[in-house]
Structure formats: structure tokens, C-alpha cells
Amino acid sequence: MHYDKKSIDQLDRVTRLKIINSVTGVKPGNLIGTVSENGYTNLAIFSSIVHLGSNPSLLGFISRPQTEEVGHTLRNIQQTGCYTINHIHPKFAEKAHYTSAKFPNDVSEFDACELSESYINNFKAPFVKESVFKMGLRFKEAIDIKLNGTVLVIGEIEEIIIPGNAFVNGDIDLEESEGVGISGLNTYYSLKKIGSYPYARLNEIPNF
Amino acid sequence: MHYDKKSIDQLDRVTRLKIINSVTGVKPGNLIGTVSENGYTNLAIFSSIVHLGSNPSLLGFISRPQTEEVGHTLRNIQQTGCYTINHIHPKFAEKAHYTSAKFPNDVSEFDACELSESYINNFKAPFVKESVFKMGLRFKEAIDIKLNGTVLVIGEIEEIIIPGNAFVNGDIDLEESEGVGISGLNTYYSLKKIGSYPYARLNEIPNF
């Protein structure tokens, strides 16, 4: 099927949302944990975590335009300066999905979705106990994307918890850690390793 | 295993690269096709394509700091104003991987890696013929990330080619289109659908 600009513009809102949220290909499934300055914890699903650099260790994610009702994650990050990123595991993918419901300010998604807070090394933001692969980040910068009002939120990694079995031949194997991918707004995938190729050197290009 | 900030800082360069490039979880595997103002085509693998919004339809990707040797993708995009994003299919994952070798300016990765250029609707940038799921984008903005010298490159989708079998119950199914995920710098995954949950409404939270 082929959509050009005109036919994309003419799609109804829901079809357009579903298609445009799927076209990047698979997205990483993560939960971001935060706490407000008043001590209310928050947990929200994000599929937009992106690697920015390894030295310093920077990750970004896209926050939608802020309103009173949504956007507690960015508000909490700006209040406390820290947050956690927790890989979604197939065992709790459904619970993770439902963190996207619009819970009131004083309801923690940890409670509502039956996931457990855990605290590591005096890091202020809550980790997800059920997640086997997780990180604590220090907030560095929020860059406004004026084209559509979204925000690129950047943090530096300060804590990493990785399951020991995920280290395979010096690399991290997301099939072993049972990482989850997302497409569109509501479809979840498990991962199966199909290949691992060496660093690509100009004088070592294979005969395909 | 647990790394804190101090132990992250003390990792040797290669181990650090491998770990920090894997911690987001699975990344979408795509090839970006461009052409320079002199007519040289370029094809490069990117795992940082991120959804920014559906109306307008905006995607971003992270370009590393520019040098003479690398960064032809962003240079070409700025010269011509357009580029293509092509999903990697398992059948050509190895060829896609080797586009990351540092080929000279006048060598097209299409030729070197035995992938085929195709042109659609007078769109100036080359698509990958072998890719079944691909898009043409119009360059909108390049936002400098001063923390590490990378650039968030933003474009609007003008053409989308989706395989018909990927539409399943009104959603796009990346298992059907055989989308590929990446972890770290060189490991590739296929996708298996494990669940699809409805839009999360506050009064429809399941009993977990």
C-alpha cells in the first residue's frame, strides 16, 4: 500500500495515529519512574527512549506537550532532577500498558497497576522491582521541539542494573534479558536473535 | 550486575560502548537513503529513529558529530532537503550492517553492499528496493544537542509504502512485515507478537 502526503493528510485521526506510531519500526518498551516534590510516585510507559551518546552516557526520550492532566513525568523530573528507566518484561507487559490510563495526580501507577517500587543506593526516584534491567538517570536538559510542542528530555545514566545472563560473548543479549518491543500504541513483541556481525571494517566486507 | 556512576566511568571504552548502546532496549533497524547535490547516493544504518508526532507526521533521528569522513547523511539531507527511511528486513540484515563501514565519498553503499536504489513519485532521495516498508521524508529542522555534539534531525513523512499483509485488525503488525530490531552496535533480532491491549481507559483497568 502506498500513501502520499495528500492521502496521509486525509486519513482519519485514529488510523493516522496507528500508522504513524508504527512506521519507525519496533520501539523499546520502558517504564519511567519518578517522584514529585510532595512524595507522590509516578510510573509511565514510554516507547521513545533513544541513545544519544556513550561518553558521557546520555539517553533521551520524547515528552508530549504538557497539560495539567498528563506530563507528570517531566514535571517530576524537573522538580527532583532524577528518574528511572525500567525495561518492560513480558510477564508484566499488560500492567505496563495500563500505566498509560489517565490516573489522577494522587494515584500512583505503581499501586493502580500492581507493580512494586524499589529504591537503590539512595537514588530518590523509584525503580520497578519486577524489572530485571533498569537504570537511574540524572536530568541534564529539556530541549523544546517547536515544530509540535514536544520536548526532548536528556539524562545521564548514574546506575545500571543488568541481569548477569544478558552478557553473552561480551555483548548484551536482549533475548536473554527478555526485552520487549512495541509497535504503534498497543502491540508488544518479544525478541529473537537472528545475527551478530563484527564491527564493519572497509577491508573486511564479505562477499554477500 | 550493578554499575554505579563511578564503575561506569571506569569501564574500558569498548565495554562502555557496548553496554551504553544496549541499555535503551531494542532499537528499530533502518537504512537512511540520501543523495548529495553532486548526485552521489548514500545509504547508512541508523538505530535511533524516533516518533515525534502524528499530526504533522514527524520522525527524528540522532546524527553523530560531523566530520569529513562520516556524516554524509546529514550533509546530503541539508543539501537536498529529503531522505528515505527503509526498514531492514532479516534477508538483508548483514548487508545493512556493513553500510556502517567508512566508505569513501564517491563509493555508494548501495553498490558496495549490493542493495538496489529505487525511485518513487519523483522523490529525489533513493529508496531501498529490497525493503518492503519504507518512507520518504522532507527535512524540517536540525537541533544541536550541545551536551555531546550530536544533532536531532527532524523530517516530515511525505511517502509511506507498507506491505498489505502488515495491516492486522486495523493495526500494523511488525511480525508480519518482518521488522528487525537492534541492540548495541551489532546484534539483530526478529519480532514475535506477544500481546495487544486496548486503549487504556481509567474505568476499564483489568484485574491483573
- Inform me whether the pLDDT recorded for A6 exceeds 80: yes
Q: How far is A38 from chain B (nearest CA, A)?
A: 23
User: How much is the pLDDT for A69?
Assistant: 60
A84 - beta bridge partners? A33, A136
Q: How far is A71 from chain B (nearest CA, A)?
A: 15
Residues of B in contact with A95 (CB under 8 A): 208
Residues contacting A203, CB < 8 A, separation 6+: none
Nearest chain A Cα to B57, which residue?
A20
Longest dimension (CA), chain B: 61
Residues of B in contact with A199 (CB under 8 A): 185-186
Question: Mean of the pLDDT values across residues A94-98?
Answer: 97
Q: Are B185 and B21 in contact (CB under 8 A)?
A: yes
Q: Residues of chain A with pLDDT > 90: what percent?
A: 90
Nearest chain A Cα to B191, which residue?
A191
Q: What predicted TM-score, i.e. pTM, was given to this entire model? A: 0.96
Option in A48, A121, A206 nearest B50 (CB): A48
DSSP state of A66: P
Residues of B in contact with A148 (CB under 8 A): 52-53, 56, 58
Report pLDDT digits (tens) over B130-181: 999 999 999 999 999 999 999 999 999 999 999 999 998 889 999 999 999 9
Through-space distance between the first and last CA atoms of chain A, rounded to whole angstroms: 30
Q: How far is A133 from chain B (nearest CA, A)?
A: 8
Report pLDDT digits (tens) over A64-76: 877 666 679 999 9
DSSP state of B204: G
Report pLDDT digits (tens) over A44-55: 999 999 999 999
Report pLDDT digits (tens) over A159-184: 999 999 999 888 999 999 999 999 99
Nearest chain A Cα to B111, which residue?
A208
Q: Residues of chain A with pLDDT > 70: what percent?
A: 98
User: How much is the pLDDT for A68?
Assistant: 62
User: How much is the pLDDT for A193?
Assistant: 97
Distance between CA atoms of B94 and B110, rounded to whole angstroms? 13
Q: Are B181 and B191 in contact (CB under 8 A)?
A: yes
| Closest C-alpha to A45, from A62, A29, A60, A64 | A29
Work out the pLDDT band at A106, boundaries 50, 70, 90: confident
Distance between CA atoms of B190 and A47, rounded to whole angstroms? 18
- Inform me whether the pLDDT recorded for B106 exceeds 90: no
Q: Are B55 and B69 in contact (CB under 8 A)?
A: no
Q: With an 8 Å Cβ cutoff, are A194 and B197 in contact?
A: no
Q: With an 8 Å Cβ cutoff, are B100 and A200 in contact?
A: yes
Supply the ipTM of this predicted assembly. Answer: 0.96
User: What are the structural domains of chain A?
Assistant: 26-204 (2.30.110.10)
Option in A56, A114, A171 nearest B148 (CB): A56
Whole-number average pLDDT of chain B = 95
The three cell numbers of residue B118 are 529505487
Residues of B in contact with A98 (CB under 8 A): 197, 200, 205-206
